[in-house]
Amino acid sequence: MPPPGTAQVKPPVSEAKRKAVHEDTLIFNAVKSYFKYAGVVLSVWGFGYFSFSPSWLLLGLVVYIWKEKNKKAQKLQIAIAQETARGEKETILARVEDLPSWVFFPDVERAEWLNKMIDQLWPYIGDYVKDLLHKSIEPAIKKSLPAAIATSFRFSQIDLGDIPPRIGGVKVYTENVRRDEIYMDLEIIYSSDSEITVVAKGINAGIKELQIHGTMRVIFKPLISRIPLFGGLSVFFINNPTVDFNLTSLANAFDLPGLSDMLKTIVQEQIANIMVLPNRIPISMAKGLDLNKLRYPQPQGVLRINIIEAKELKKADIGLGGKGKSDPYVKFSVGAQKFSTKVIDNTVEPVWNEFYEAIIDVANGQLLTLDVFDKDPGNKDDPLGSLAVDISQVYSEGVMDEWLPLEDVKKGLVHLNLCWLHLANDPLELDRVVQKMESEKKTDDRFSSCILLINLDSARDLPRGKKSLNEPSPHCFLSVGTETKESWIKYNTVEPRWEQNFRFLIHNPNYQNLDVDVKDKTTGKSLGVCTLKLREILGATNMVVDRKFPLKQSNSNAYINMRCSLRVLTTTDNPEWREEKDLIEDVAEAVTPTVSEQEGTSVDNEGTSGQGSVSSSNVERVEKTEVIRSAPSSQPLESTVRQRKNTSPAEDGKGAHGLGRIQLTLQYMAQKNKLIIIVHKCSNLQALDSNNLSDPYVRVYLMPEKVKRKTAVVKDNLNPVYDDTFEFPVSPSEVSGKLVELAVKNQVGVFSSGQKMMGVTSIDLANMNINKALTKWFDLQPEDSVVRVSLETEV
């Protein structure tokens, strides 16, 4: 007997007894369900047998549904409470995984104002999409379908419904972007009530409840100083969006095997062909903008992918005794580019060691997505896991060699080696790359040394039919080695304009050629061919050939316009190789004359001391500076344009006093009574610090009032770039009496005794033409022997 006041401990329930209780519970639930459904059937029979009104039956059904709904809601509430009690964090995270991105990421903002605008614009957007489907998507789908079905394929109904897409979040980038562009990412969430029906061979089939989820990037470029403040914009998906939908009509009624997957693949491919990188939708917003520079910018680089091996994969094919293997292979994609490895049979530790190369347009935000499958001939392949790699990480590090865990499975690892290749326009770099490839025994066609960028513009004077004199429907076939790309078809014309870009990865341009064959789609006959030896591009300026190419085997004087450029793929990063598109120049030249066309604009010629001038034909455009356009005093200043060109040789001199030089732009705006001084840069300054460098900044004084301004400090640099703009209020009558004094100083510490003054210059504005802007270099002088520089403008 236990002592009084103590609790009696019950013996543990045996496993056999627990199992018996569980079985009794299952039997009781089964019997309960049987009598429940039997009672419902008997009640329905009784209503009919005794001729009761059907209204009683409907009333009972309504009460039953209401009761079941409340019961399910109570069960759900209890289940959530129990799950929260067991693991609060896991339950909350599981329930918010489908929420928009602004919930998770602090730099992504809500855009309800934009969603309200889309809601009002949705009917008009619907009309545009209908037109796009009929004119663009329908012909593209016909091309991908078998010929027997393609001829009768058409969209018979297009209803986008009343639910517009939502913007889940907006992110605007402020780092690693140029000053004349804005990068904005939009999270697109489209869960619609749309219904789209197609007809093929008299059979109706369609999709409804289309769902799209992805990140769309919008680039506003170039920024300009007039409405709408940007010259153009380009829109694209960074990665393939997620697409899902339900089938309707005959497709849904028969649930044809594989039809849903085939249609989803076709829809994804068409979206990718239109607006997944490298494809973009460009929109011009200003006169003079070249849309091809928006549609086909130079890629950022090339990603070399080595799929090495995998281990601990799931056993998809289970045999007797619990043993089994898989037949794994990898599908992976970068944007619209898709690749697939070979299949390794009967293993869970495959070794592929295969190399691939993907052209990367935008590293930031783009993903390398991999899916591992088990090959099942005749059946749907079983998924073995997936993973995604942020390409920006490879871009910043150069090389990544890691074992990465597969997601959506319990185990599995994939070994990847990723290498980032920059683009160079130096033929000498090609020699170094080829030698390195030979030393590493990468001499087969899997490894590329260059990328060939082709802008296929147009053709002229193509031959007509010999007998009928009908105009042809030309399209181009461009080939390098065994790889061939096809252009669009331009119907019934002898002067087609394609304006398309093509890109080829080149193993060695020293012995490879580009072959172009223009064919008539109607007859299939060749209208002319031409061949370009790629080694000719190596010797061209900036490795670019832009000219007319005569077409051989043609009975007329036909030719084709192309721009071909080569870029070397190298692991070395050199900022001088980075080609930046000067889109803003196109817009500016459509509005205002170029700098060389303006009267009175002068710069120093090579070898001058900074006080002379040269003719306007020798004006040098300045790298990363703002050149103010001159305008008559009765008109406002038109625009401030950033010019980006190679550095002038005149900047390499140290000036007459050996202290370096400083570059300025001076402009007086009579409309605002302001004197504008832009401090662009300094060159060849003295090294005053112990590390043989300096920390220079510029002091600007407007005399005689001695109004002060100061640029930022550029650390450890003898050729600093500032591009700082200062404005001084000055009336037109006072300009001629002003002096501009500049002092370039070295920032030193509080307790440092190092030299601070690096050089000065003084500019007399007595002869300044207030209607003209002036950009020129000035020599820095010793502080104790300043000589005023007179601005003598040219007539």
Residues 545-571 pLDDT 10s: 988 999 987 677 889 999 999 999 999
Contact 663, 777 (CB under 8 A): yes
DSSP string spanning 491-531? -S-SS-EEEEEEEEEES-TTT-EEEEEEEETTT--EEEEEE
Q: Check: CB of residue 226 under 8 Å from CB of residue 181.
A: no
- Give the distance from CA 233 to its chain's centroid: 12
Higher pLDDT, 24 or 498: 498
* Band (647; pLDDT cuts 50, 70, 90): very low
How many C-beta atoms surround the C-beta of residue 557 within 10 A? Answer: 10
Of 88, 140, 93, 134, whose CA–CA distance to 267 is shortest?
140
367-400 pLDDT per residue, tens: 899 999 998 887 778 889 999 998 988 998 899 9
Rounded to an integer, what distance in angstroms lies between the CA atom of residue 558 and that of residue 550? 6
Strand order, beta sheet including 696-703: 707-710, 696-703, 739-746, 757-764, 788-790
Q: Which range is least confidently modeled, 633-647, 673-687, 705-719?
A: 633-647
CA distances from 282 to 274, 427, 474, 784 (A): 11, 32, 25, 57
Please give the Cα distance from 369 to 192 (Å, whole number).
27
Secondary structure class of 254 (helix, strand, coil): helix
pLDDT at res. 189: 86
Q: Please give the Cα distance from 219 to 235 (Å, whole number).
A: 7
- Is pLDDT of 93 > 80? no
Length of the chain: 795
- Between CA 794 and CA 630 the distance in angstroms is 14
| pLDDT classification of 10: cutoffs 50, 70, 90 | very low
Cα gap 154→139, rounded to integer Å? 9
Q: How many CB atoms lie within 10 A of CB 415?
A: 17
DSSP letter assigned to residue 379: S
Does a cis peptide bond (omega within 30 degrees of 0) precede residue 704? yes
What is the average pLDDT value for the chain, to the nearest integer?
A: 77
Q: Could you tell me the fold of the domain covering 301-426?
A: Immunoglobulin-like (2.60.40)
Non-local (6+) Cβ contacts of 117 within 8 A are none
Tell how far CA 173 is from the center of its chain. 13
Whether 17 shows a pLDDT value over 60: the answer reads: no
pLDDT of residue 468: 63
> pLDDT digits over 320-359, tens only?
555 668 889 999 998 888 899 999 988 889 999 999 999 9
Q: What is the pLDDT of residue 632?
A: 33
User: What is the predicted pLDDT for the residue at 450?
Assistant: 94
CATH T-level topology, domain 592-790 = Immunoglobulin-like (2.60.40)
Residues 6+ positions from 659 with CB-CB distance below 8 Å: 685, 686, 758, 759, 779, 780, 781, 782
Torsion of CA 413, 419, 420, 423, to 10 degrees: -150
SS3 content of the chain, % helix, strand, coil (to 5): 25, 35, 40
Residue 310: φ, ψ to 5°: -145, 160
C-alpha–C-alpha distance, residues 179 and 222, integer Å: 9
Predicted pLDDT of residue 477: 94
For residue 105, what pLDDT band results from cuts at 50, 70 and 90? low
In this predicted structure, what is the pLDDT of residue 87?
60
Q: What percent of the chain has pLDDT over 90?
A: 17
CA distances from 225 to 188, 487, 629 (A): 30, 37, 12
pLDDT at residue 756 in the model: 84
Please tell me the distance from the alpha carbon of residue 682 to that of residue 698, in angstroms, as a whole number.
9
In this prediction, residue 602 carries a pLDDT of 36
Evaluate if residue 624 carries a pLDDT over 70: no
Confidence of residue 775 (pLDDT cuts 50, 70, 90): confident
Domain 429-573 sits in CATH 3.40.50.720? no
Q: What is the pLDDT of residue 156?
A: 84
pLDDT category, 626, cuts 50, 70, 90?
very low
Tell me: the pLDDT tens digits for 145-174? 677 777 788 888 888 888 888 888 888 887
Q: Look at residue 11 and tell me whether its pLDDT is greater than 60.
A: no
Q: Mind listing the pLDDT tens digit for each residue in 46-77?
A: 777 777 777 776 777 777 777 777 777 777 77
Q: Is the pLDDT of residue 629 over 80?
A: no
| pLDDT surpasses 90 at 254 | no
What is the average per-residue pLDDT within 101-121? 77
Task: Find the mean pLDDT for residues 698-705.
Answer: 89
3-state SS assignment for residue 155: strand
d(CA 775, CA 740): 14
Cα–Cα distance, 457 to 476 (Å, whole number): 11
> Would you say 332 and 306 are in contact if contact means Cβ atoms under 8 Å apart?
no
Give Cβ neighbours of residue 328 (< 8 Å, ≥ 6 apart): 310, 313, 343, 344, 347, 348, 350, 372, 373, 374, 375, 384
User: What's the average model confidence in pLDDT over 242-268?
Assistant: 65
What is the rounded distance in angstroms from the CA atom of residue 561 to the CA atom of residue 140?
26
Name the burial class of residue 477, with classes exposed (0-12), middle (13-18) and buried (19+) by CB atoms within 10 angstroms of its CB.
middle
Task: Count Cβ atoms within 10 A of the Cβ of residue 83 and give its class: 0-12 exposed, 13-18 middle, 19 or more buried.
Answer: middle
Task: Label residue 263 by pLDDT band (50, 70, 90).
Answer: low
pLDDT of residue 640: 35
Please give the pLDDT value at position 320.
55
Asked if the model's pLDDT at residue 742 lies above 80, the reply is yes
Burial of 656 per CB tally in 10 Å (0-12, 13-18, 19+) = middle
CA–CA–CA angle 129, 130, 131 (5° rounding):
90
DSSP 405-468: EPBSSSS-EEEEEEEEEEEE--HHHHHHHHHHHHHTT--STTS-SEEEEEEEEEEES----TTT
CA within 13 Å, CB half, 443: 5
Q: What is the pLDDT of residue 418?
A: 94
For residues 32 and 370, what is the distance between their CA atoms, to the nearest angstrom?
49
**17 or 389, which is more confident?**
389
Beta-carbon contacts of 432 under 8 Å, excluding residues fewer than 6 positions away, are 570
**DSSP secondary structure letter of residue 135:** I
Which is more confidently placed, 458 or 634?
458
- Output the pLDDT for position 568: 93
Gap between the Cα atoms of 675 and 514, Å rounded: 55
Alpha carbon of 528 to those of 548, 554, 748: distances in Å? 14, 5, 70
Q: How far is CA 579 from CA 298, 432, 539, 566, 582, in A?
A: 8, 21, 18, 12, 9
Higher pLDDT, 78 or 122: 122
Residues 6 or more apart whose Cβ sits within 8 Å of residue 170: 102, 108, 109, 110, 111, 114, 184, 185, 186, 187
Strands 559-570 and 450-460: antiparallel
Contact assessment for residue 157 and residue 197, using Cβ atoms and an 8 Å cutoff: yes
Looking at 486-641, list the stretches that DSSP marks H as alpha helix, in order from N- to C-terminal side.
535-538, 583-591
Q: 303 vs 315, which has greater pLDDT?
A: 303
Q: Which two tokens stand for residue 60?
A: 């009972």
